[in-house]
Structure 1
Amino acid sequence: MPENATLEALLRYLKDERGFDFTGYKRASLTRRVMRRMAAVGASSFEEYHDYLLVHPLEFTALFNTILINVTSFFRDVAAWRYLADKIVPDLIAVRVGQPIRVWSAGCASGEEAYSLSMVLAEALGLDELRERVKIYATDVDEEALNYARQGSYTEVEVDAVPPALREKYLEQVGQRFVFRKELRRAVIFGRNDLVQDAPISHVDILACRNTLMYFNAETQSQILSRFHFALRPDGVLFLGKAEMLLTHAAQFRPVELRSRFFRKVPVEVRDRRFLLPQGMDPGAGAELARLRQAALMAALSAQVVLDGRNNVALVNHRATEVFRITTRDVGRPFQDLELSYRPVELRTHVEEAVTTRRPVFLRDVRWSRGGRTEATYDVHITPLADQSGRLGVMITFDDVTPFRQLHKDLEIANLQLETAYEELQSTNEELETTNEELQSTVEELETTNEELQSTNEELETMNEELQSMNDELHVTNEALEEGQEEIGRLNAFMTAVLGSLTSGIAVVGDDLRIMAWNATAEELWGVRTDEALGQHLLNLDIGLPVDELRQPLWNQLTGDGAEPERLVLPAVNRRGRPLQVKVTVSRLSADSEEPSGAIVVMDPAG
């Protein structure tokens, strides 16, 4: 079989078996990277390497890392990032006053680019606005790189490119690593997305895809850019890498700052937010697509009413007819003549506001009850419709949020129950504090015994010359040592028995967060045996408890910032897959010195 045919067979195998589609990559660079792995494992042909993958599944990880490269850094190409911070972001904020801002980092690798975007937006908006308004979607096909990025933890070498002022403001040093503050990490959402196969993220204001397109061939680049064009809002900005240009895609994007590789989307239809046509569809199928859109609107689960430019009713979908009793006879009537225009809420003034300001108007928790039916709660969205020629009309959407409001009430009841449970937890914590004092006393006794053993050893060294004559005394001393060791064994057994008798899950960690003790209740709760847990880093344990939420409380206890134990309630899943709430208490573990030597994590399932 020719060499290129065997390579294509290998690529089809990777796509079918592992879901990675590399068929759109440039063959020259792809061949070099695959051959690099072939040389590493001693395969002389693509066919032989194919057979090697069948027998050694762990080789897939090394192959994907070699193909995907994952080369990235913070604020790569400083001039481009400066233009983003000084021009693109301020212009965007001026247009999106009070509105959500959506950013997509496509091909984010280990996350440096996504966190760079979050710092730029945090500097422009502040952390509070960042938390409320900004969502940064960071995607890649490499799960290993995504898992690393989610930690938000980097080495000193990796954060060297972050300006000192930003590093001090947004990162915290934990040991030898630098960790992003939780406000920035919560603004970034990491997820797997294949640019060739998966649907794009929509309604994006800024789309950063830097030095990723260059690995694909021209046909695949065109497909990806069409997806990017669909993903962006009509005034959205595409941020490419220094090695990438869009000279052949002027119909879709126009340059904003060519040197820094910023391009703005060019709307190509009156209604830019259109459906993506499947590849190969006849462009003349517009009438059929229009009917499809009409059917989609009519079948929408939300009640929708569309007004024309004169505020007459132009279209009512099936759900609106069912809920608000609007019939086909009402189509064409002035909206102000319908009962819906003023009941259950005055909509006429809000429609006028949306038309005047050309911005959507949102009404929350509008209650509606008619004909003896159960009262329902709606969120109302009034959206002005316009194209390049001017105003078209207004769309009014009623989203039924009744189930969510009921859930909110149930949550309030659950909070009351949690307060009661919290009081019980305080009582348990007092008992644990008493146990901790007893353990401290035991540690002091052990230290005293150790000093006595050292004193005995010094006497033995002094009396070494008289060893023969004092053999009997040495025998007595050895017996004393054995009794001391037995005492230590009994004390260890006592500590194990104390931990095992507690009904709460107990994990004792050192100052490096590695587990020193793990009791039977913790084994039963999470399905991790003691011998599996001991020595493991607590935040790396794969259990049903979101251990990452313990990072800050543990840090407070270990650094001495937390004088009192910290308590929190976390949602979790036990070893049987059942959801439960877990009350977690994190307290410091200290020897006779004031500095904490570790921490105790008490995990008490709430049910």
Structure 2
Amino acid sequence: MEGTTDEAFEALLRYMRDTRGFDFTGYKRASLMRRVRHRMDQAGYGTFEEYLDVLQAGSDEFAALFNTILINVTAFFRDPEAWEFVSAEVIPRMLAERGPDDPIRVWSAGCASGQEAYSLAMLLAEALGPDAFRQRIKIYATDVDEEALADARVATYDAKAVESVPPELLARYFEHVNGRYAFHKDLRRAVIFGRNDLVKDAPISRVDLLVCRNTLMYLNAETQRNVLSRLHFALAPQGTLFLGHAEMLLSHSDRFAPLSLKNRIFRKVAGGQGGVDRYDPAAAFYEHGADLSGLMTVRDLAFRASPVAQIVITGEDTVAMINQQAESVFGLSARDIGRLLRDLEVSYRPVELRAYLEQAKVERRATRIPDVKWQRQGAETGWFEIHVNPLVDAENGLLGVSIVFFDVTATRALLDKVVHTNRQLEAAYEELQSTNEELETTNEELQSTVEELETTNEELQSTNEELETMNEELQATNDELHAINDALRERSVELDDAKNFLGSLINSVRPGMVVVDREMRVVVWNRACEDLWGLRADETTGTRLTELDIGLPLDGVRPLIGNAFVDPDASGETVVDAVTRRGRAARVRVVCTSFRSADGTVGGALLLMEVVG
């Protein structure tokens, strides 16, 4: 039965991977299965097979399952001590090792709703100043959860979310708008959010600081090794890796050297990727001579008339060309030429493009983004295959990037029909085959039933013997418990007798007897003290002697108490003028000695008080 459950669960994971694009097959099975079962219990489904049917029927339940699996727990400056090390040690070292104008690339992997990425932005802005920050810093923040990325792009948080932001940083980098805190827009532009699956997607390259906190711990050992290889490739020479407290790199010491093992901060070991040059894109396209102007006109018209939507941007992410099909499909116009791509909706819808653009520019290699779904309002669902192609010159210098959107909606519909038909045929064949196997196994099952019944009879006899043995053991245990109970009852009586004896002894002392601890709190107050000062023991016990409203002046008594604490062998005596509980003036002799515990240490002071005249 357990094997059947495991296979059904694996089928559920394969469905999410093949049809939804989320690959959880590398996650640890115990925690992953626990989260899926939690969602199944909430939705009211008992088996993985039944739940798979529900997911195949509609997308609403899939969204709820996805949010349950991905625990987007994040906060500003989570683990403050680790972030203090980043601020005081990592960032200054990183800036010192690079030129004053060199760009700094930072990757926040598994960024959830963005608090981690904006924490990095604040620390870097503090270290560089706002102007240098805007010129030099790019922070790539990625996650597989599109809803979390959408929240991160808005960059507004409630008061509880920003409680961990130091007040001076909160005042400097946030605006209080309508009860929420919005991160400053001019610094927000340096943070690029995009979808990236660490398990299967290509990593962002040449990263100076890579923050991937509490993500690896959800993956199994093999997937962790693969992801760490990707993170190692992503880091620039001397790049820094910042992990979460629940993660270690002890098995990868040949790739990463610890800067602070306590804070899980590591550095890329030299030699792994050290020979790769730093990325410096060119800023312009090829310039052609005047004799090619006619040819250029033909090329421009051909580009404009192409039936496939296409956008061309420069190496600085400025829109250079848009054809008619792109204008029609994405609602663009000639006015958008010259704008930054990230300011246009097409940069993140139908898919987040910026991560793929950076990959194409850095690796000088075309990227294909298949199966991009686009649900436009008031229109049928469309599907695109997007090609991101770097435009390079003869010396491999980057001129720009071409983005081509192939509409594969019709092909996708046809493919879905073929796949559906093929599945129906396979299901029919499997049903016929399974029927034959069931008939063959029925006879074997009938034969094995007799053997099972015989075995069951033997097991019942064995179980009866075990129960008799357990009954004898329980009886013996019960006798032991009765004996222990009797001993405890006798001990309780002895303790009560000792307590009564001690109380009688204290109250039999004729002088008033008071015992105070080192805090001057009353521990013992006998009956003679009650008669002398008019306060009962339950009114004085636990109260400082100096706070009691009695007619005993303590100016002459305090030195005796203090001396008793200092000199255990000392015994002091004084006579003071006091007023008894009846309001009569009296001369009272007070004798003070140290009050020692069983081991000889002084735990308080003992006062004996007696009227002498």
Q: How high is the TM-score relative to the length of structure 1? A: 0.47
Structure exhibiting the larger radius of gyration computed from Cα positions: 2
Q: How high is the TM-score relative to the length of structure 2? A: 0.47
